[in-house]
Structure 1
Amino acid sequence: MTGGVDGSGVAGSGTDGGTHAWTTRRGFFVGGALGLLVGAGLPLGFEQLFGRAADLETFSLGDGLTILSGRDETEGGQRHRLVDLWNRVHVDHPARIVEVSSNADRAYSTMLSAAQAGDPGYDLYNLDIPWVPQFAQSGYLRVLDGATGDGFLGKPWAAGTWEGATYALPFNSDVGLLYYNLDLIDEYYKAKGEEAPSTGPVPAHTSWAELDTFAHEVFAEVGGDRRGLDRPVVDTPIALQLADYEGFTVNLWEILLSLDAVSVDATNRPVFEDVDGIRAAVTSLAKGLRTPSGGPATSFAFDEQGSLAAFAGGRAVFLRHWPRALRLLRGEDSVPFEVGFMALPGGGVLGGQSLAVSAASRYPVAARRLAEFLTNERSHQLLFEHGGFAASREAPYHDPSAPYGDPEGSGSEEPVEDGPERDSNETLRSALDGASPRPHLQHYVELSEEFRRYVRAALVPGGSADGGDVPFDGAEFAERMDAAMSGKVAPA
């Protein structure tokens, strides 16, 4: 990589001439490092970290670097804090984040329009990882020659590549996780006269079908109006994100993978050969999402915010969500019940965002340097420890002083040898290791839209024009998916 930060993020990992801010990974952010940056000179460690300003282009008066990104949903706006830190050093090369919608579909449309227009006002795109192939193939991104994946997790790094070249650096990772309300599960076991398993309510290798069965068993016992109980009415066994947006594709893809109805090949291209298995899985799901209580049907209206609100409000036994939900559920305004979490049955789908330099940027050297800074080891530590994001680098998972999901956001310098905080790091890392890569396609968006349209119609009750249910044809589905992967979408 250009500048003073290589792909492993080693700048600042060695000695620094006595600056106390380098004593721990935490110390860089909470040990007064910002104060050390103010002034005319840079300590050696910071010069190594940021690179010398003389290496960058000279900006015209009033110009700066602009990152086009989805909404920063980290607690305290940690992405903005990182950009502020960059600006404290690079006063002649300032940067800012322009946020668009938190909805993935709308964010994609905004970024694609800017890229298609060749807008030089945007220097970096913070892309959801399945969009990288399309933007790269279309010539909207610069190749990051010399970039290496040293220090990064393999799957997030691979998501930023296309046809052997690197186009994007992993900013943060995501993976689907399963959260559960331990109070409701304890209530269920007490009603049966049994003790809840000490290892957790769901064995690690449970299939999706087994989880769904167990969730409905718990729901049958604790759901509905239980008069006299001082808790909300439970109306949902598993809160999913099944609204008509990208979240539906991700949720259903995870379930179908778990049921072995679909798969991906060695190039992460989806395989839809088992048409009978796909049909059987979708038919079974349609039945499971339509219980007499009507509760699970609420998931058809849920996005990330809606499903999290339902779970946090005590209405759901289980919740499928991203890692950042843990900080919200265990934070200062935490929920009034005990929350557990684990990897999804069969593994979640890899998510996350990566930073790519726009081909239209007037300042590509500075833009790349900014991307390298925002994705170095210490930046990942901040987003992991304080922002609730899963790190795309190895180091944060091995830092015993930085448990994931620490609700205080600052922690202590004492290592956490064991216990739930340490387990959180291991659980999250294990979930990432077991995650299925997103389909790596130039026409991923077309695939997602066609997948969502065809499968959702078969799941939503009364989805046909006459108010009846829509039958699911596995062979037709496979044909449509193959066409969509080539950019051909059937008329609505």
Structure 2
Amino acid sequence: MKIRTTRALQCSTALAAAGLLVTACGSSGDGGAGASAGSTSFQGRGPITYVAGKDTSGVVPKVIDRWNRLHPKEKVTFIQLPTDADSQRQQMIQNAETKSDAYTVLSLDVVWTSEFAAHQWIDRLPEKQFPLRTMLKPVVETAKYRGNLYAAPASSDGGLLYYRTDLLKKAGVTRPPATWSEMTADCAKVKKLPEAKGMSCYAGQFQKYEGLTVNFAEAVNSAGGVVTDANGRPHVDTPEAKKGLDFLAGSVKDGTIPKEAVTYQEEDGRQAFQSGKLIFLRNWPYVYALAEKSKAAGKFAVAPLPGLNGPGSSSLGGHNLALSSFAKNKATALDFMKFFSSEDSAGTFLRDASLAPPYTDLYDNASLVKQYPYLPVLKQSILRAVPRPRVVQYGDVTSAIQQETYAALTGSKSSTQALKDLQNDLQHATAQ
């Protein structure tokens, strides 16, 4: 679905600063959001809401129940939004534009922080009240806007390559592929096995939604290109970007990526991998715990994403907790955010749902690594990850990426034409 955001504020020309494309909104001299945030009063106690995408793990209600037992007069109600990120973002923006107090604590995709802060939809947070020094640095940076904290890191995410260890071993493949060409060659060997009859090689998230933006950015970055530079300027009409998009579009055309994968979101790919339809799958760490409960249990492992000439780069994922500027009971909300984003809660989400924690020492804990062998791979994925465009006009940017990438995947445009058109679209979007 193509999302075009109705902007509640008219913003001036974007300024490039600190690696972000930021927009000066409002009439104050320091950019509006920063001006009002310093006077935020975290007062009021009572019931609040926690708003996030649909919980497929079943763990979120357990953590909220624990809070509710400890705080019977400050109960949290879990509001679940649709699974896809675009719909989540749209509903949160609609709530903010109407200045509704229905949403209190928001679970934001890490790339939304700049947009929500610039529009004054979320409050600036007291940085000293969160243990940021114990977290992975790339994760902390996603929670900041203009050097100030506007969200609390709750979980991180790095893309992983899931692969069938049993089939690769039987085909004589001794290690997971580090490049796209190695992956294609490994698939050819595996598909000769009787056990692999009817299987497809590889899938990611290729439906026209936020997951497609993630997979496109990973392909471009893994081919040595960038979507936007450090100043937020687009650079997609380049040879490197073309190599990345050619890999995706060419793989659909030659069957390496099954044609039905252009309809895949995260859950579609997970189910296809677990049911034995895929040899390789690009997905997030949450899949690990669920796959261990499926018929694929004991038959898979994870590796870094492959790239053009070696290991590729993941898009940096995860979710941050933000406080709606229009919410009530902000003292309760702040305490709940500390509780939900604590290292203890992060450990629960890791153990029960394979969610990537923001805390460094959880990746280095020997007992956890023994129990969750994917942690070292995941840590490196996060540390090497590249953020999606951190721009205020993110809705327009991701919509353009989805539109042009999908056109190339489905064959309605060549990669060359799609990237030329995308460059023009992104230049227009980021100049607003």
Residue deviations 1:436-475, cap 9 Å, x none? 12321111121111011112212213x26xxxx6862544
- Give the counterpart of 2:101 among 115, 120, 126: 120
How far, CA to CA, are the matches of 2:83 and 2:236 in structure 1? 34
Q: Which residue of 2 aligns with 1:253?
A: 217
Change (3 A) 1:422 1:326: closer
Q: Which residue of 2 aligns with 1:105?
A: 86
Cα offset, 1:290, TM superposition: 1.0
Q: Which residue of 2 aligns with 1:180?
A: 163
Equivalent position SS for 1:97? strand
Q: Say whether 1:446 aligns with 2:408.
A: no
Q: Which residue of 1 aligns with 2:12?
A: none
Q: Which residue of 1 aligns with 2:250?
A: 287
Cα offset, 1:103, TM superposition: 1.0
How far, CA to CA, are the matches of 1:337 and 1:423 in structure 2? 12
| Length-normalised TM-score, structure 1 | 0.73
How far, CA to CA, are the matches of 2:384 and 2:336 in structure 1? 31
Residue identity in the other structure for 1:96: T
Cα offset, 1:306, TM superposition: 1.2
Which deviates further from its counterpart, 348-357 or 277-286?
Answer: 277-286
Cα offset, 1:270, TM superposition: 5.6
Residue identity in the other structure for 1:439: P
Q: Which residue of 2 aligns with 1:241?
A: 205
Residue identity in the other structure for 2:400: E
Equivalent position SS for 2:366? coil
Cα offset, 1:285, TM superposition: 3.6
How far, CA to CA, are the matches of 1:474 and 1:252 in structure 2? 11
Q: Which residue of 1 aligns with 2:382?
A: 432
How far, CA to CA, are the matches of 1:424 and 1:150 in structure 2? 24
Aligned length: 384
Equivalent position SS for 1:356? strand
How far, CA to CA, are the matches of 1:115 and 1:303 in structure 2? 27
Change (3 A) 1:165 1:88: same
Q: Highest relative contact order (Cα 8 Å, sep 6+), 1 or 2? A: 2
Equivalent position SS for 1:426? helix
Cα offset, 1:336, TM superposition: 5.7
Contact 1:234 1:316 in 2 (8 A): no
Q: Which residue of 2 aligns with 1:220?
A: 188
Cα offset, 1:360, TM superposition: 0.7
Equivalent position SS for 2:337? helix
Equivalent position SS for 1:318? strand
The correspondence of residues 335-414 of structure 1 with structure 2, limited to 5 A, is: 335=296, 338-345=299-306, 346-403=312-369
How far, CA to CA, are the matches of 2:127 and 2:264 in structure 1? 42
Equivalent position SS for 2:321? strand
Contact 2:216 2:245 in 1 (8 A): no
Residue deviations 1:196-246, cap 9 Å, x none? 32xx232xxx3xxx32x233323334438x7xx3x4634421111111111
Equivalent position SS for 1:98? strand
Residue deviations 1:271-303, cap 9 Å, x none? 406524333543454223211x58532221211
How far, CA to CA, are the matches of 1:283 and 1:397 in structure 2? 35
Equivalent position SS for 1:401? helix
- Give the counterpart of 1:90 among 71, 77, 83: 71
Equivalent position SS for 2:253? coil
- Give the counterpart of 2:422 among 472, 477, 481: 477
Residue deviations 1:383-434, cap 9 Å, x none? 111221000112322333334xxxxxxxxxxxx4xxxx46422222121111
Equivalent position SS for 2:44? coil
Change (3 A) 1:160 1:457: same
Contact 1:262 1:270 in 2 (8 A): no
> Is the radius of gyration larger for structure 1 or structure 2?
1
How far, CA to CA, are the matches of 1:295 and 1:67 in structure 2? 37
Q: Which residue of 1 aligns with 2:44?
A: 57
Which deviates further from its counterpart, 377-386 or 421-430?
Answer: 421-430
Equivalent position SS for 1:237? strand
Q: Say whether 1:163 aligns with 2:146.
A: yes
Equivalent position SS for 2:155? strand
